[in-house]
C-alpha cells in the first residue's frame, strides 16, 4: 500500500504525478507556469485529466542562473499554500534537494518531498520524518545538483541504483518517515548517459522486486531524445513507449508533462496485464 496525503493506492494502481514548474527557464515549458495564474490553471487541468499528485519545482534541473534557497522558497511556498486551498484533496509534492525549502513547503501544506538529487542534503529526509510526509529517494550517481553527467561510468548501473536508493529508503525509514510513503526512483538522465538510462528501464523489475514503490521520471528527457534523435518537443511518443514498458515491469508512479496521454497508456497496460477491467466491453456481446 502506498499512502500519500489523504490518498491510498493499491499495488497495481498507477499514480500520475503532474509537473508544474515555477521557473522561468524550464527545459520543456520555457516558463509557461512561472506566474501564479497559469500555474493554477495547469493544476486544475492536470487534476481533471487524472493526476493524483502535483509536483511543484522552483529550480530547473539543468545548469543555469543561480537560484538561492530563499528564491526557491519564494517561488514555491506560497504556491503550495494556494494549491492546498483550492485543491484540498490533491497530493502536493515539491521537487527540492534543500532541507530548509522542504521544511517551508511542509509548513505550507506539502505532502511529499521529491529529492531528485539523491540525498545530497541529508537533512531533507529528516524534514520528511519530522512532518510525517512522503519522500522520493532517487539515484543521481553522486552528481552535484544542476550538473550534467560527463563520462560517468558504472560497473553495473542497476546495482548502483539499488544500493543507493534502497539505502536512502532504509535511512528515511529509520529516521521515522512512514514506510508506506517512501518511493525509490532510478533517476533517468541524472548522473547517467543514455545507455545507462535505457538499461535502468530494461531492468526496472529489479527495483520493483525490492518491495519499495518505484517512481519513474521519464517525461521528454534527453535519453528519449538521443535514442530517437528528436528535439524536446518531439519526444512524447518515445516517452509514452518508455512509460508502457515501465508500467509492464511494475513501476507505480509516473512524473509527467502529458497527463491525459499517460493515463491512457497506463490504463491500456493495466488492462492487458489483467490489473483493471476495460472501460467498455461490448464487442461480440451485443
- pLDDT band, residue 17 (cuts 50/70/90): very high
Query: What are the tens digits of pLDDT across the range 59-90?
Result: 999 999 999 999 999 999 999 999 999 999 99
Q: What does the block give as the cell for 175?
A: 529516521
Query: What are the tens digits of pLDDT across the range 273-284?
Result: 999 999 999 999
Average pLDDT, the chain: 97
- pLDDT band, residue 248 (cuts 50/70/90): very high
Q: Average pLDDT for residues 18-29, to the nearest whole number?
A: 90
* Count of Cβ atoms closer than 10 Å to residue 228 Cβ: 13
Determine the pLDDT at residue 227: 98
Determine what percent of the chain is predicted with pLDDT higher than 70: 100
Q: Has residue 286 got a pLDDT over 80?
A: no
Query: What are the tens digits of pLDDT across the range 204-214?
Result: 999 999 999 99
Q: Has residue 1 got a pLDDT over 80?
A: yes
- pLDDT band, residue 25 (cuts 50/70/90): confident
**221, 231 contact by CB (below 8 A):** no
Q: 211, 224, 198, 219: which is closest to 250 by C-alpha?
A: 211
C-alpha span between 161 and 139 (Å, rounded): 6
Query: What are the tens digits of pLDDT across the range 92-117?
Result: 999 999 999 999 999 999 999 999 99
Q: What does the block give as the cell for 197?
A: 538510462
* E strand or H helix that includes residue 251: none
* E strand or H helix that includes residue 230: none
Determine the pLDDT at residue 26: 86
Q: What does the block give as the cell for 13?
A: 494502481
C-alpha span between 141 and 55 (Å, rounded): 22
Residue labelled with grid coordinates 492487458: 272
**251, 216 contact by CB (below 8 A):** yes
Determine the pLDDT at residue 28: 83
C-alpha span between 283 and 286 (Å, rounded): 7
Please list the active-site residues.
221, 255
- pLDDT band, residue 31 (cuts 50/70/90): confident
Q: Set out the domains of the chain in order of their start, with CATH numbers.
A: 2-273 (3.20.20.20)
Q: Has residue 219 got a pLDDT over 80?
A: yes
Amino acid at each position: 500500500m502506498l499512502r500519500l496525503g489523504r490518498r491510498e493506492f493499491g499495488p497495481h494502481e498507477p499514480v500520475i504525478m503532474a509537473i508544474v514548474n515555477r521557473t522561468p527557464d524550464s527545459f520543456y515549458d520555457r516558463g509557461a507556469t512561472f506566474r501564479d495564474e497559469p500555474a493554477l490553471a495547469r493544476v486544475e487541468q492536470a487534476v481533471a485529466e487524472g493526476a493524483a499528485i502535483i509536483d511543484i519545482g522552483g529550480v530547473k534541473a539543468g545548469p543555469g542562473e543561480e537560484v538561492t534557497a530563499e528564491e526557491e522558497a519564494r517561488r514555491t511556498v506560497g504556491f503550495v499554500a494556494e494549491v492546498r486551498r483550492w485543491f484540498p484533496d490533491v497530493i502536493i509534492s515539491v521537487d527540492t534537494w534543500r532541507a530548509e525549502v522542504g521544511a517551508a513547503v511542509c509548513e505550507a501544506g506539502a505532502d511529499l518531498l521529491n529529492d531528485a538529487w539523491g540525498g545530497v542534503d541529508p537533512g531533507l529526509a529528516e524534514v520528511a520524518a519530522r512532518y510525517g510526509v512522503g519522500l522520493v529517494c532517487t539515484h543521481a550517481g553522486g552528481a552535484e545538483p544542476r550538473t550534467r553527467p560527463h563520462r560517468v561510468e558504472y560497473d553495473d548501473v542497476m546495482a548502483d541504483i539499488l544500493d543507493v536508493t534502497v539505502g536512502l529508503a532504509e535511512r528515511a525509514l529509520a529516521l521515522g518517515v512512514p514506510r508506506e510513503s517512501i518511493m525509490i526512483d532510478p533517476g533517468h538522465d541524472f548522473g547517467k548517459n543514455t545507455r545507462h538510462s535505457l538499461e535502468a528501464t530494461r531492468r526496472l523489475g529489479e527495483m520493483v522486486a525490492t518491495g519499495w514503490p518505484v517512481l519513474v521520471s521519464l517525461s521528454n528527457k534527453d535519453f528519449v531524445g538521443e535514442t530517437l534523435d528528436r528535439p524536446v518537443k518531439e519526444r512524447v511518443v518515445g516517452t509514452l513507449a518508455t512509460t508502457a514498458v515501465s508500467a509492464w515491469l511494475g513501476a507505480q508512479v509516473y512524473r509527467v508533462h502529458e497527463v491525459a496521454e499517460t493515463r491512457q497508456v497506463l490504463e491500456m497496460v493495466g488492462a492487458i496485464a489483467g490489473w483493471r477491467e476495460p472501460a467498455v466491453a461490448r464487442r461480440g456481446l451485443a
